[in-house]
Amino acid sequence: MRTKVSFTADGVRCAGYLYLPAGSEPVPCVVLCHGYSGTMDRLFDHAEHFAAEGFAALVFDYRSFGESDGNPRRLADVDGQLADLRAAVAFARGHERVDAERVLLWGNSLGGAHVITVGASDPRIAAVVAQIPYNGFPKKVEGRSTGDTLRLLAAIVWDAVRGKLGLRPYYIPMVGRPGELAVAATSEADQHIQTLSGGQTSWRNSVAPRGLLRMMRYRPPAADLACPLLVCVAAEDRETPLELTRELAERAPHGELRAYPGTHFTFYTDPGLRERVVADQIDFYRRAAARV
């Protein structure tokens, strides 16, 4: 069963959907967080998998993205998104079908950093899954020249200046081809855009790049995470490289690392890999929930 829901964070309405398994008893609940420019509709498939295995699942859009309120649109505000996630956890705990002591967090890319950060500050979180999580920008991105980097930095600064002046954001593409001005410039850009925008989705290939300034200083505090952590990584990831993401599992007191073949975007584009990863995550959640 899927129900449309909403909750507020800092006075901003966030939209979401709650998936419930059959039955009437309280069950563990997975709260799912999408990535930097994502929208919750890309996580419906994951939520359905969790619900089919007896978990409740809550997906939601961060403020200014998808179906949620908030302006300016498509601005990834790290602190605002953390507040949105905390509000989602509070909403889940208050639902009659949710076991409030077995709330589980799941995050993808930037959302992977958020779930570690919120889990580290909330001792009641039962377990965390961070999939291809953000842990700082790599020093060098394969395929991006120095000139490309300088153009992106100029766009970030210009958009930040416009924000200070109260002007409309200077939007740039999230995904583009090598040499194009975009947050992620990849040789598989067309495939990635088609995957992210396919079907009925509110995702737009457009973001306000000023949000990247805060991300430059953002690191999830994995060492402070008391609950079990599973980090799922891609062996050939260029956006969230293995040498950075593995640090999260190594620093967490109860961290596990699982590496899979492919790139950052393979987790979106390969249904077979997604099935395998989700199965591993369900097994991890079952083990963690049984210990509570």
Residue 104, token pair as written in the block: 């589980």
pTM as predicted: 0.95
For the chain, the distance separating the N- and C-terminal CA atoms, rounded to the nearest angstrom, is 26
- Strand, coil or helix: 255: strand
CATH for 2-138+220-290 is: 3.40.50.1820
Distance, CA of 229 to CA of 27 (rounded, Å): 20
Domain spans, the chain = 2-138+220-290
**CA neighbor of 275 nearest in space, from 103, 74, 49, 81:** 49
**CA neighbor of 50 nearest in space, from 285, 269, 270, 260:** 285
Residue 263, token pair as written in the block: 């790139």
pLDDT digit of tens for each residue in the chain (292 aa)? Answer: 899 999 999 999 999 999 999 999 999 999 999 999 999 999 999 999 999 999 999 999 999 999 999 999 999 999 999 999 999 999 999 999 999 999 999 999 999 999 999 999 999 999 999 999 999 998 877 667 889 999 999 999 999 999 999 999 999 999 898 899 999 887 777 777 777 776 557 889 999 999 999 999 999 999 999 999 999 999 998 888 999 999 999 999 999 999 999 988 888 888 899 999 999 999 999 999 998 8
